[in-house]
Amino acid sequence: MKREFKFDFGTASAGAAEGYTKITADTVYDPTAGCGFVAGAGRVYAKDRGESAAALKRDFVIPLEAVFLVDVPDGTYQVTLMAGDDITETETTVKAGEGRLMVLKHRTSAGQYATHAFSVWVTDGKLRLAFSGLAPRVNAVEIAPRDTAVTLFLAGDSTVTDQPAEGWPYTGWGQMLPKWLKADVAVANYALSGRSSKSFISEGHLDKIWARMKPQDYLLIQFGHNDQKADEERHTDPFTTYKETLKLYIDGARSRQAVPVLVTSVQRRFFDAEGRLIDTHGDYLTAMRELAQEEGVPLVDLAEKSRRLFEELGPEETKKLFLWAVPGEYINHPNGVEDNTHFHELGGIRVAELVAESLKELGLQPLRMYLRF
């Protein structure tokens, strides 16, 4: 199966730039071709601004909530996107895979063309790019293997995982983390809803990470929300089985010459009468901080970072970060929702920023160089 692609998006009449494959608004994905827009997913239009413009700039597609698929072998790929328009300003958002945020509302002015490069972790044989925005443009896309990219593996629960599109704006912070990373890093988000540090291992999910991890990769570990649950499959005791289980992640990463990073559980949205955040994680936070000290493991104290942020915003403003909606506000939640644990996309972006800020503060090399700060 081919691993490198160069696509020129636009109109058939404009032809394809040399060395590129033409993709028009009518190029629908089918397994034989191995690339194209997903039928029924949004709308796609095409425009040609005329022969005076350079080959890749004269024409483009306007993908409105549209999804472009390319069949590729599993692995890490660098995607380079060109977006712009000779005569008007544009705004484009790009997500990859299961809603991982790569480019957020990037604007270009008339005559300006922006190039964005990012790395995508592919595990199902399909590289998926979803486009949206007020006035999105796609002029060209190049896809090439990036096997040397650092992989940032995520192990965690529903506050971290890639939430499916049918639940939007329900979002995990790991889903938004790529926005804060350069193309040298690919995020491999293995976090899953409802899992504890114990059940993540017993269900075989950690083994999937071990099978793909290479030296100099990183493993971010956030568990605690579900370790608190009473059922035998998930429950751990903070100062015994919780620490013992987390040590399996630490030792496994180190044995593969990768870097483990512990992440204290992000806070829930519960306030007391004075507007102070009520901690619901208790000894699990203390135990993880102790373990980081004992094992010499870098610690992202997301519990403390998120506490400060949520208290600064207060009870009302934090509703914008969490999955709060009135009936009819979002088509995926017609009856409304009041969720004090899980994030709205805006919250996922903000919490992901806290994680990226913390990684910068830790000074981990080479990861620190790959952060967009």
Q: For 253-272, what is each residue's pLDDT tens digit? A: 999 999 999 999 999 999 99
Instruction: Please give the pLDDT value at position 208.
Output: 97
State the catalytic residue, choosing from 225, 281, 333, 342: 342
Measuring CA to CA, which residue among 273, 288, 134, 280 is closest to residue 220?
Answer: 288
Q: Which residue intervals of the chain bear CATH 3.40.50.1110? A: 150-370
The pLDDT tens digits of the residues spanning 212-244 come to 999 999 999 999 999 999 999 999 999 999 999
Instruction: Please give the pLDDT value at position 52.
Output: 67
Which contacts qualify for 209-214: CB closer than 8 Å, 24 or more apart?
209/153, 209/155, 210/252, 210/256, 212/151, 212/153, 212/188, 213/151, 213/153, 213/253, 213/256, 213/258, 214/151, 214/256, 214/258
- Whether 344 is catalytic is no
Residues in the chain with pLDDT values less than 50: none
Instruction: Please give the pLDDT value at position 365.
Output: 93
Instruction: Please give the pLDDT value at position 55.
Output: 86
State the catalytic residue, choosing from 158, 197, 199, 306: 158
The pLDDT tens digits of the residues spanning 58-84 come to 999 999 999 999 999 999 999 999 999
Helix then strand count (H, E) for the chain reads 8, 19
Architecture of domain 5-145: Sandwich (2.60)
Question: 3-state class of 247 per DSSP?
Answer: helix
- Whether 342 is catalytic is yes
pTM metric for this prediction:
0.95
Domain 150-370: top CATH class: alpha beta
Instruction: Please give the pLDDT value at position 373.
Output: 80
Q: Which residue intervals of the chain bear CATH 2.60.120.430? A: 5-145
